[in-house]
Structure 1
Amino acid sequence: METLKGKKALVTGGNSGIGYAAAKELKAQGAAVIITGRRENAIREAATELGVTGLVSDQGKVADIESLAKKVSEQFGKLDILFINAGVLGGAGIETATESDFDYVIDVNFKGAYFTLSKFIPILNDGASVVFLSSNVVGMNGANTSMYTSSKAALNAVMKIAAIELAPRKIRVNAISPGPTQTEILNKMGLDPAARLALDDWMIERIPLKKIGSADDVAKMVTYFSGDASSFITGAEIVMDGGMSL
């Protein structure tokens, strides 16, 4: 059943992983979908595969965000669904951290996500849904994760405040916090096949449900938050990590 028929959705970082899966699911539910990403070739390929619109935009640059909002407004009008998904991994121990380490993570994960919401608010329809991609690390305290964890914790704070600020327009703002998820980003860590399998085993051992989540799991939650079934939910963070953070 196409529960989102007639809706217009934008997914940042939609050319791979969770963003790609969410764009696919949103389209399957009837929405007209726009995906964004930094790499032109990757966006063009993903948009063709999905049968959606692809636009090049770097969430780490506020000027790109402003340009994107203007382009979307001019070409597509107002949006009903905004999934702020784009993000990067990165970090270091606090003692050895550099400014470039810090800026790399914060510019995309927090500043970029913040201004994506800010610049798109004027082109959201009343009753729209905004979903942030956060992370279960906010409820954990791992060494060498201070930058990434801080970026997601800050995002959760903004999500709750935005839910209050946008409630008069019936715009709902929520967050999804996955745990380990099988996406291409895990294959870009430079690990050899044996080390990659060892990483999976290490994660599974720490997850009570004894499995790693899939991008499709998260995509289904994005569509849930985007539809009428969640019309009385705002300011909520849903943790999807198989119990890892318990």
Structure 2
Amino acid sequence: MQKLSNKVAVITGGNSGIGFATAQRFVAEGAKVLIVGRRQDAVGAAVEALGSAATGLAGDVADLGTHDRVAALVAERFGKADIYMANAGGIRIQPSLAVTPGDYDAQFLANARGMFFGVQKIAPLLHDGGAILLTSSIASRKVLDGHAVYAGSKAAIEAFARNWALEFKDRRIRVNVLSPGPTDTPIIGKLGIATEALSQVEEQAAQAIPFGRMGEADELAQAALFLCSAASEFVTGVNLAVDGGMTLT
């Protein structure tokens, strides 16, 4: 039996990487999926790849108007939703002394403010017994070079999750966090690292992981499926690191 049969899921940042892999998993398990991404062309291509069970909306999660449009589309198209995965975000790797107010704001607007108000807008449309999943990062707990602002923005959403797990308990809405370690996704190529240095960066990341390799997007998607399905119906307020043991080192 499909694990998400007749469920409706919303995934921000669902057009690539972990978000897209999760959308694929959810569709395979019987869900209807609304993916949200910044670029219309990328969202359109992802919807085409996902098939008739997918709907797309182009919008930036840092823009609060995007969340109004997501909620309106869910209400119009589906009436309610069962799963909300707040996965979209941004990162700029740089030493703290080089961070500008613009650098800081860009990360907190997307990662913390955007996530907070995305949940605020969608919560009234979630069925009782639904699931909220926030994508964080092991950087909130493990110090990584150049990640101070990013880590702070992710730590904020982990605090949101703990609070929401209790705020929404009377509706039996579970709120959990997924914290990836280094994962082989297109975002690696967007970190400002020279193309010729990418293989070295990936090799260094693999060496820092006890399992000896980076994670795959589908491995994160499988964890997301667990946290959003009935398999975890007695789990709320947890932060699941999917990192090959990297936070242990």
Normalised by the shorter chain, which TM-score bucket? over 0.9
Following superposition, the deviation at residue 74 of structure 1 comes to: 1.8
Q: Answer whether contact 2:91 2:191 (CA < 8 A) is retained.
A: no
Match of 2:240 among 235, 238, 241: 238
Is 1:38 aligned to 2:26, yes or no? no
Following superposition, the deviation at residue 205 of structure 1 comes to: 1.0
Partner of 1:174: 176
Following superposition, the deviation at residue 41 of structure 1 comes to: 0.8
Following superposition, the deviation at residue 190 of structure 1 comes to: 4.5
SS at match of 2:157: helix
Q: How many residues align?
A: 246
Partner of 2:134: 132
**In structure 1, distance between residues paired with 2:66 and 2:189:** 28
Partner of 2:22: 22
**In structure 2, distance between residues paired with 1:95 and 1:184:** 27
Partner of 1:202: 204
What is the correspondence of 1:50-89 to structure 2 with a 5 Å cutoff? 50-51=50-51, 52-89=54-91
Give the counterpart letter for 1:6 in structure 2. Answer: N
Structure 1 gaps of 5+ residues are none
Give the counterpart letter for 2:162 in structure 1. Answer: K
**In structure 1, distance between residues paired with 2:30 and 2:202:** 35
Larger displacement relative to structure 2 (182-191 or 149-158): 182-191
SS at match of 1:207: coil
Q: TM-score, normalised by structure 2?
A: 0.95
Following superposition, the deviation at residue 31 of structure 1 comes to: 0.6
Q: Answer whether contact 1:80 1:129 (CA < 8 A) is retained.
A: yes
**In structure 2, distance between residues paired with 1:113 and 1:34:** 16
Structure 2 gaps of 5+ residues are none
Q: Answer whether contact 1:91 1:97 (CA < 8 A) is retained.
A: no
Task: Spell out, residue by residue over 1:218-238, the C-alpha distance to the aligned partner (whole angstroms, 9 max, x if none).
Answer: 101111111111000000000
**In structure 1, distance between residues paired with 2:206 and 2:94:** 24
Q: TM-score, normalised by structure 1?
A: 0.97
Match of 2:162 among 160, 163, 176: 160
Q: Answer whether contact 1:181 1:213 (CA < 8 A) is retained.
A: yes
**In structure 1, distance between residues paired with 2:102 and 2:244:** 33
Task: Spell out, residue by residue over 1:28-65, the C-alpha distance to the aligned partner (whole angstroms, 9 max, x if none).
Answer: 01111110111111101110111111111210111221
SS at match of 2:246: coil
Following superposition, the deviation at residue 187 of structure 1 comes to: 2.1
SS at match of 1:34: strand
User: Equivalent pairs: percent with the same residue?
Assistant: 38
Give the counterpart letter for 1:135 in structure 2. Answer: S
Partner of 1:148: 150
SS at match of 1:95: helix
Partner of 1:115: 117
Task: Spell out, residue by residue over 1:174-208, the C-alpha distance to the aligned partner (whole angstroms, 9 max, x if none).
Answer: 00101000001112335455411111110111111
Larger displacement relative to structure 2 (18-27 or 139-148): 139-148
Is 1:13 aligned to 2:13, yes or no? yes
